[in-house]
Amino acid sequence: MRILVDCTCVRPPLSGVGYYTHTLIKALRDLVKSRFPEWHLALYRQPSLREWLTGKPPSLSFPQQGGQMFYLPLPVNVSSLLGKHAAFFAENLGDYFDVVHGTDHYVYPFRRGKKLITIHDLAFVRYPEYCHYIVRISYENRIKKCLEWTDLVLTFSQITKKEIVDYFQIPEEKVVVTSEASRYDSNYLDSVNVAEVKRKYHHLFAQPYILFVGTMEPRKNIINLVKAFNLIKKEFAINHNLVLIGKKGWQYREILAEIENSPYRNNIKHLGYLTEEEVAVFYANAEVFVYPSLYEGFGLPILEAMTLGAPVVTSRISALPEVAGEAALYIPPHDWQAMAYTVYRVIQDRDLREKLKQLGKLRGSLYSWQRVAEETLHIYSSLGHSFVC
């Protein structure tokens, strides 16, 4: 079987869709090499709009490791506008592959080969106020066009599958669900210089802290988390910090303003983007990890936190309960007072923290990138009419 996977979204620093695609490709390569050496796995990349307009060659954003890498001539913005006519610009390449996997809400309309598109979530539909108007319109139109030539849609939770089926009015059997997995395993810290990370951030590890990891954007509900933190500090005089790890996203200034206006702003630390190793150490030493997001197609940070032993408090909304199961405490995300009391309950109850840690580690062990790769290869096989044992 000949498989072509889109790695356009893999650009540093890795997060979100880019991280998923990067890790999936590595896991697929390992699995194909060990079990199906006769299969051929290659990658393709479309230029960014800036690269296309300036004529600069696309920067290599993924290690080839001996595999083929194809560079398509058109950026996603342009090929999406051209619709099926974009097939002309990659006609020869499209004849060569049995399955083409578009990993970021778009798959190139090759004339031949079965097409698979990954839709990570429908945040731009469910919560349009939390994304830019242009982004919302472009994503919606792009997906609608893609569905004209897509054979199968892949997503990561049953609730997102239902949303896709209902919103785009497509048959339920056209949407398949695979899991995701943490970038960490339970032994990850064995290979990390934990002492060095703690020395670098000694002023933060000197006090207990409440942790959040994610992009600084409205959908992550960080403003309500700050309000909850203010209430805990005021009513219970805890000596904890609130540590926020993640790059600045859309409308981040409103979040920073909320932090600046907090009477406890000196106890709120925004660290921006950290290395994978640094984030792992913060997960492992958190008194509690809070993820009060308003909408998620999966919710990878809660799985990462569980895998590394952080007690988890998260929203009872969208796919988060599907991922966390009974291994987390749940909050109504719009009720910052309820959030405050739930977080404080974890802080002051050592036995509860230990219970959540153990349940979380057990839950995290159910997910692995090998499993994700196996599920994905099975989908490729069903499209390419090959048998996977």
The pLDDT score that the predictor gives to residue 389 is 38
Q: In terms of domains, do 147 and 233 share one? A: no
* Cα dihedral 321→327→328→330 (10° resolution): 50
Quote the tokens at residue 335.
């009720």
User: Residue 297 and residue 20: Cα distance in Å, rounded?
Assistant: 13
User: Residue 113 and residue 95: Cα distance in Å, rounded?
Assistant: 7
- Identify the H or E element spanning 214: none
CA torsion sign for 103, 109, 110, 113 is positive
- 155 lies in a domain? yes
Q: In terms of domains, do 269 and 123 share one? A: no
Direct distance between the N- and C-terminal alpha carbons of the chain, in angstroms, rounded to an integer = 14
Question: What are the backbone dihedrals phi and psi of residue 57, each rounded to the nearest 5 degrees, phi first?
Answer: -65, 145
Q: In terms of domains, do 147 and 95 share one? A: yes
Quote the tokens at residue 311.
């007690």
- 379 lies in a domain? yes
Q: In terms of domains, do 314 and 199 share one? A: yes
- 222 lies in a domain? yes
The pLDDT score that the predictor gives to residue 388 is 44
- 203 lies in a domain? yes
pTM here is 0.91
Q: In terms of domains, do 192 and 265 share one? A: yes
What are the C-alpha distances in Å from 180 to residues 17, 101, 140, 244, 366? 11, 16, 23, 23, 10
**386 burial level (CB within 10 Å; 0-12, 13-18, 19+):** middle
- 389 lies in a domain? no
- 162 lies in a domain? yes
The pLDDT score that the predictor gives to residue 387 is 41
DSSP notation for 322-387: HHHTTSSEEE-TT-HHHHHHHHHHHHH-HHHHHHHHHHHHHHHTT--HHHHHHHHHHHHHHHHT--
Segments of 221-267 assigned E as strands: 241-245
349 alpha-carbon distance from chain centroid? 31
Q: In terms of domains, do 132 and 13 share one? A: yes
Q: In terms of domains, do 175 and 299 share one? A: no
Q: In terms of domains, do 145 and 20 share one? A: yes
Q: In terms of domains, do 359 and 345 share one? A: yes
Q: Cβ(310)–Cβ(221) under 8 Å?
A: no
Q: In terms of domains, do 351 and 229 share one? A: yes
**42 burial level (CB within 10 Å; 0-12, 13-18, 19+):** middle
- Per-residue pLDDT in tens (0 to 9) along the chain, 389 residues: 999 999 988 887 777 888 899 999 999 999 999 999 999 999 998 888 888 888 776 665 555 555 788 888 888 878 877 877 777 777 666 568 999 999 999 998 888 889 999 999 999 988 888 788 888 888 899 999 999 999 999 999 999 999 999 999 999 999 999 999 999 999 999 999 999 999 999 999 999 999 999 999 999 999 999 999 999 999 999 999 999 999 998 889 999 999 999 999 999 999 988 999 999 999 999 999 999 999 999 999 999 999 999 999 999 999 999 999 999 999 999 999 999 999 999 999 999 999 999 999 999 999 999 999 999 999 999 998 644 43
User: Residue 319 and residue 155: Cα distance in Å, rounded?
Assistant: 11
The pLDDT score that the predictor gives to residue 56 is 75
- Report the domain count for the chain: 2
Q: In terms of domains, do 250 and 358 share one? A: yes
43 alpha-carbon distance from chain centroid? 20
User: Residue 130 and residue 215: Cα distance in Å, rounded?
Assistant: 12
The pLDDT score that the predictor gives to residue 66 is 54
Range(s) of the domain holding residue 297: 188-364
Q: Look up the CATH number of the domain holding residue 205.
A: 3.40.50.2000
Q: In terms of domains, do 225 and 324 share one? A: yes
